[in-house]
Amino acid sequence: MTGQTYNPNQAEAIATLDGPLLVLSGAGTGKTRVLTARLAEILRQHRAYPSQILAVTFTNKAATEMRHRVEAMVGEDARDLWLGTFHGIAAKILRRHAALMQLTANFTILDPDDQNRVMKQCLRELGIDEKLTKPRYFLGIIDRWKDSGYSPDQVPVGEKNNRLVEMAGKSSTVSHLDVYRLYQNRLRQIDACDFGDLLLMVVEIFKNNRTVLESYQNKFRYIMVDEFQDTNRIQYYFLRLLTEYNKNLCCVGDDDQSIYGWRGAEITNILNFEKDFPKAKTIRLEQNYRSTKHILGAASSLIAKNGRRLGKSLWTEFDTGEKVKIVTLEDNRAESAWVAEVIDTRQNEQKPLSEVAILVRTSSQTRGFEESLSYRAIPYRVYGGLRFYERQEIRDVIAYLRLIHHPADDLAFERIINLPKRGIGDTTFEALRARARAEESSMIEASRNLVGMTQSGAILSGDNHDSKDVKPAARRALLKFLQSYGLWQERMASDSPLEFLTFLLHDSGYQAMWEAELGIEKESRLENLRELERAMRDFTSIAEFLDHVALVMDTINDSSRQQVSIMTLHSSKGLEFDTVFLPGWEEQLFPHSNALHDGQDGLEEERRLAYVGLTRARKLAVVSWVKRRQVYDQFLDRFPSRFLREIPAEHCLMETIIDGEVFVTDSPRSEMNLGSQTVAGSGGTPSLVQSNKQSAIGSSLSMAVGDRVSHKMFGVGVIRVKDGSHLTVDFGGDFGVKKLIDAYVKKID
DNA sequence: CGCCCCGTGATTTTT
DNA sequence: TCACGGGGCG
């Protein structure tokens, strides 16, 4: 770890405590290090075998890091720890008892893309217009239900999300719950479960099988949970079941950093903890070992505006440090260019790039920074963007592996049956699907039956069924594919994972397909296939590899590399950097307009997000907002985030950048209060043209006369008229906005 | 069956 | 602006 002092007495004192324990503390107080120390301590004292300890982290990355740190303290012993995310742990348990949930031990874990495909099929079957109500919408509701611990039969009557589905024109008889039921049936048919099922099913097994539950209750002597504020109901339920008798649970968390309310996380879990574990000791850590006084002061004042908090006050012995910078820029292009420039300059002052992060509110903001950093040849890495295993070519190969490993995986079949082109198109595919449904079999089986092939690969004579549906050419192509498939299955069983992958890439013609490509993509696609082969080295079986892919979804992190980190505020949780850039602090973006629909709770969660962002910084935090931001194809006027005004003047320094020149303002507060201020000319001294304070703050945007508006976010708008003054227009909510604007524009003319 | 052209909608946040 | 899906044609 880089040079941060930690009070070892404190960590070790907590490490030796037994019994239910709640460590409640603020950002940068070393919560994770307390857990790590505790793990090492238990192992050192031989109070439990590694396999008797369960430690749950929020991300896989955190789990890997914790494992390394514990290894450094106690060596090999750390290897058998049950250390991972809730989902990773649940998957491990579920594989052992899959039969209890009518799954085979090889069941597939669906990724979001697969989920979407299954849902599309369901909607089509139910006659739901997927344009009107999108698959993702239903998946979102189902996920929330799973987070709350509801299987289809357990969704309470009158649950707020269980409405009738909107139907175009006609009245609807289909409820959201009906969609959920059908979706689960489909998953069972293809021997698959989605992410949310992992925990739900394990809890289900625990509830219905006393012996299984007891075996795990006896097994785990120590259970630890990091980021406890972000556990949802099903996760908490899982913990409660496991600790029914042996209440040796230790949770660490911070209510001020709860940023996953939308995913069902409940701060009330922290309150329940003291109720469910009456003997629990609560420990508070308030000394911050991360940030300077200015950064901590800014963050603390900001979070103090929240009403619903347990309350704590952080302090630090660190220096005052630099004030938080609040920077005003012309537009988002200027913003990304300026951030890159500052990073460049600081890099020349020997500041390491691995200590710089750009934290954004939405992932769409990352693109601009990628461009500006590339322009200056500054290396960067986008976390949580398009991840390695989500790339098209990688997903294709994984589909091959999935299908060979698990013939019932119809989604994998669908993806690769005609990739590369084998002359098996939509018509043949639909015929196969119909047949599979009628026979209640997998697509592979249905294909075999169609061409008259037995499981062992023998061809039966007189295989002429369905000849009117599938033409001889397609039939031949299918037969050829099935013969290859048989060979692949044999080779997968006998070869090492790497050998097999290399063989498969050639034999399937998949690699040749990309080699024949002409576009600019070709090289990077082939390079990614090489990367996949490299990754495959670390695995002893294909099954192990597939679980890794489904659950970890990322390549090995190389934190040693000198590169700037770009990520969303959400994924920055638990991390820290010397320098943190926080762009896009504008109303509508941060706090995000959608979050504000959830009223005060929504706003407070956004504020916690801002708090998380600021407290990632050790030495310097740079917040910025822009006056104009490009959304799709148009530039829109923006107003500074209310959070900017919540940072006290004594902790910040305000700058306005115009054409690359820096202006420091004496009374920046007033400048920001006048949200719709514009600057005359380009390059001169800033001067106030006109403002409309009423509409400037809060939920307004301004648009130029004649602007086309086509987004639901523009519930309230401001039209700028020719002399530079503003006119506020309330559009009263949502759609039909364009029409209204057209009407107003006419009036003004 | 497979390719190409056009029209439309998209952006919260994630294990 | 861009990515994806549907429709039409060779």
pLDDT of residue A560: 67
Question: For residue A324, is it left (φ>0), alpha (ψ between -120 and 50) or beta?
Answer: beta
Which structure tokens are listed for A711? 């987004």
Whether any strand C atom is under 7 angstroms from the Cβ of A426: the reply reads no
pLDDT of residue A7: 55
Whether any strand C atom is under 7 angstroms from the Cβ of A723: the reply reads no
Q: Which H or E run includes A121?
A: helix A112-126
Closest among A574, A650, A674 to A61, alpha carbons compared = A574
Contact of A608 with A258, CB cutoff 8 Å: yes
Whether any strand C atom is under 7 angstroms from the Cβ of A632: the reply reads yes
Which residues from the 36-65 window of protein chain A have CB within 7 angstroms of nucleic acid chain C?
none
The string of DSSP codes covering A436-462 is HHHHT--HHHHHHHHHTB-TTSPBPS-
Asked whether residue A186 carries a pLDDT value surpassing 50, the answer given is yes
Which residues from the 569-588 window of protein chain A have CB within 7 angstroms of nucleic acid chain B?
570-571
Whether any strand C atom is under 7 angstroms from the Cβ of A245: the reply reads no
SS3 A501: helix
Which residues from the 81-110 window of protein chain A have CB within 7 angstroms of nucleic acid chain B?
85-88
Nucleotide nearest to A383 in CA–C1' terms: B14
Contact of A645 with A326, CB cutoff 8 Å: no
Give the pLDDT band (50/70/90) at residue A723.
very low
Distance CA(A536)–CA(A500), nearest Å, equals 10
Asked whether residue A217 carries a pLDDT value surpassing 90, the answer given is yes
How does strand A222-225 pair with strand A249-253?
Answer: parallel
pLDDT of residue A168: 65
Give the pLDDT band (50/70/90) at residue A612.
very high
Nucleotide nearest to A365 in CA–C1' terms: B11
Cross-strand pairs, A574 = none
Q: 3-state SS string over A4-68?
A: CCCCHHHHHHHHHCCCCEEEEECCCCCHHHHHHHHHHHHHHCCCCCHHHEEEEECCHHHHHHHHH
Which residues from the 374-413 window of protein chain A have CB within 7 angstroms of nucleic acid chain B?
384
Distance from CA(A115) to C1'(B2), angstroms, rounded = 27
Asked whether residue A661 carries a pLDDT value surpassing 80, the answer given is no
- Whether the bond into A407 is cis, omega within 30 of 0: no
Question: How many Cα atoms sit within 13 Å of A578 on the Cβ side?
Answer: 14
Cross-strand pairs, A515 = none
Nucleotide nearest to A422 in CA–C1' terms: B1
Nucleotide nearest to A362 in CA–C1' terms: B12
In sequence order, what are the residues at sequence separation of 6 or more whose Cβ sits closer than 8 angstroms to the Cβ of residue A519?
none
Give the pLDDT band (50/70/90) at residue A142.
very high
pLDDT of residue A147: 94
Nucleotide nearest to A130 in CA–C1' terms: C5
Q: What number is the average pLDDT over the span A90-106? A: 95
Residue type for position A198: L
Asked whether residue A726 carries a pLDDT value surpassing 70, the answer given is no
Which residues from the 643-702 window of protein chain A have CB within 7 angstroms of nucleic acid chain B?
none
Distance from CA(A195) to C1'(B4), angstroms, rounded = 37
Cross-strand pairs, A720 = A704, A726
Helix (H), strand (E) counts: chain A? 29, 20
Residue type for position A490: E
Give the pLDDT band (50/70/90) at residue A739.
very low
Whether any strand B atom is under 7 angstroms from the Cβ of A112: the reply reads yes
In sequence order, what are the residues at sequence separation of 6 or more whose Cβ sits closer than 8 angstroms to the Cβ of residue A43?
A50, A53, A70, A74, A77, A78
CA closest to C5 C1', residue? A131
How does strand A716-720 pair with strand A726-730?
Answer: antiparallel
Give the pLDDT band (50/70/90) at residue A695.
very low
pLDDT of residue A102: 93
pLDDT of residue A343: 95
Contact of A252 with A34, CB cutoff 8 Å: yes
Asked whether residue A619 carries a pLDDT value surpassing 80, the answer given is yes
pLDDT of residue A111: 86
Contact of A388 with A528, CB cutoff 8 Å: yes
Give the pLDDT band (50/70/90) at residue A146.
very high
Whether any strand C atom is under 7 angstroms from the Cβ of A633: the reply reads yes
Distance from CA(A206) to C1'(B3), angstroms, rounded = 53
Distance CA(A297)–CA(A315), nearest Å, equals 9
SS3 A546: helix
Asked whether residue A703 carries a pLDDT value surpassing 90, the answer given is no
pLDDT of residue A716: 34
More confident site: A522 or A351? A351
Whether any strand B atom is under 7 angstroms from the Cβ of A429: the reply reads yes
Distance CA(A489)–CA(A500), nearest Å, equals 10
- The percentage of chain A sitting over the pLDDT mark of 90, rounded to a whole number, equals 46
Per-residue pLDDT reduced to its tens digit, A269-300 = 888 888 888 888 888 888 889 999 999 999 99
Distance from CA(A681) to C1'(C5), angstroms, rounded = 45
Whether any strand B atom is under 7 angstroms from the Cβ of A709: the reply reads no
Whether any strand B atom is under 7 angstroms from the Cβ of A129: the reply reads no
SS3 A242: helix
Give the pLDDT band (50/70/90) at residue A167.
confident
Cross-strand pairs, A726 = A720
pLDDT of residue A2: 30
Nucleotide nearest to A87 in CA–C1' terms: B15
Residue A386, classified by CB atoms within 10 Å of its CB into exposed (0-12), middle (13-18) or buried (19+), is exposed
Distance from CA(A397) to C1'(B15), angstroms, rounded = 23
CA closest to B2 C1', residue? A425
Nucleotide nearest to A634 in CA–C1' terms: C1
Distance CA(A599)–CA(A604), nearest Å, equals 9
CA closest to B13 C1', residue? A570
Contact of A41 with A16, CB cutoff 8 Å: yes
Nucleotide nearest to A131 in CA–C1' terms: B9
Nucleotide nearest to A199 in CA–C1' terms: B15
pLDDT of residue A465: 52
pLDDT of residue A468: 55
Whether any strand B atom is under 7 angstroms from the Cβ of A262: the reply reads yes
Q: Which of the nucleotides in strand C have any atom less than 7 Å away from a protein CB atom?
A: 1
Tokens 């196969």: give the residue.
A432
The string of DSSP codes covering A377-428 is T--EEETTSS-GGGSHHHHHHHHHHHHHH-TT-HHHHHHHTTSS--S--HHH
Active site residues of A: 31-32, 226-227, 257, 616
Distance from CA(A669) to C1'(B2), angstroms, rounded = 62
pLDDT of residue A3: 33
pLDDT of residue A332: 92
Per-residue pLDDT reduced to its tens digit, A225-277 = 999 999 999 999 999 999 998 878 999 999 999 999 999 888 888 888 888 88
Angle of helix A210-219 relative to helix A195-208, nearest 10 degrees, comes to 100
pLDDT of residue A559: 61
pLDDT of residue A732: 32
Greatest mean pLDDT among A57-66, A203-212, A625-634: A203-212
| Residue A174 DSSP code | -
Closest among A710, A718, A723 to A692, alpha carbons compared = A718
Asked whether residue A699 carries a pLDDT value surpassing 70, the answer given is no
Whether any strand C atom is under 7 angstroms from the Cβ of A519: the reply reads no
Distance CA(A115)–CA(A120), nearest Å, equals 9
Q: Which of the nucleotides in strand B have any atom less than 7 Å away from a protein CB atom?
A: 1-3, 9-15
Per-residue pLDDT reduced to its tens digit, A475-492 = 888 999 999 999 999 999
pLDDT of residue A452: 83
Residue A68, classified by CB atoms within 10 Å of its CB into exposed (0-12), middle (13-18) or buried (19+), is exposed
Question: For residue A440, is it left (φ>0), alpha (ψ between -120 and 50) or beta?
Answer: left
Contact of A469 with A477, CB cutoff 8 Å: no
SS3 A663: strand
Rounded CA Rg of chain A: 28
Question: For residue A157, is it left (φ>0), alpha (ψ between -120 and 50) or beta?
Answer: beta
Asked whether residue A615 carries a pLDDT value surpassing 50, the answer given is yes
- The percentage of chain A sitting over the pLDDT mark of 70, rounded to a whole number, equals 83
Contact of A97 with A143, CB cutoff 8 Å: no
Per-residue pLDDT reduced to its tens digit, A418-431 = 988 888 888 888 88
pLDDT of residue A554: 64
Contact of A183 with A119, CB cutoff 8 Å: yes
Which residues from the 579-638 window of protein chain A have CB within 7 angstroms of nucleic acid chain B?
592-595, 597-598, 602, 631-633
pLDDT of residue A731: 35
Question: How many Cα atoms sit within 13 Å of A649 on the Cβ side?
Answer: 8
Distance CA(A179)–CA(A126), nearest Å, equals 8
pLDDT of residue A153: 93
Q: What number is the average pLDDT over the span A53-77? A: 91
Q: What number is the average pLDDT over the span A582-598? A: 90
The mean pLDDT value of chain A amounts to 82
Question: How many Cα atoms sit within 13 Å of A342 on the Cβ side?
Answer: 24
Per-residue pLDDT reduced to its tens digit, A326-338 = 998 989 999 999 9
Closest among A114, A313, A116, A97 to A205, alpha carbons compared = A97
Distance from CA(A339) to C1'(B13), angstroms, rounded = 23
pLDDT of residue A133: 83
Burial state string for A357-380 with b = 16 or more CB within 10 A and e = fewer than 16 = bbbbbebebbebbbebbeeeebeb
CA distances from A445 to A184, A457, A526 (A): 22, 12, 32
Asked whether residue A519 carries a pLDDT value surpassing 80, the answer given is no
Distance from CA(A711) to C1'(B8), angstroms, rounded = 13
Whether any strand B atom is under 7 angstroms from the Cβ of A424: the reply reads yes
The string of DSSP codes covering A559-578 is TTS--EEEEETGGGTT--EE
Neighbours of A580 (CB within 10 A): 28
pLDDT of residue A707: 37
Asked whether residue A469 carries a pLDDT value surpassing 70, the answer given is no
Closest among A49, A54, A91 to A74, alpha carbons compared = A49
Whether any strand C atom is under 7 angstroms from the Cβ of A349: the reply reads no
Per-residue pLDDT reduced to its tens digit, A441-468 = 999 999 998 888 877 777 765 455 544 5
Contact of A532 with A504, CB cutoff 8 Å: no
pLDDT of residue A725: 38
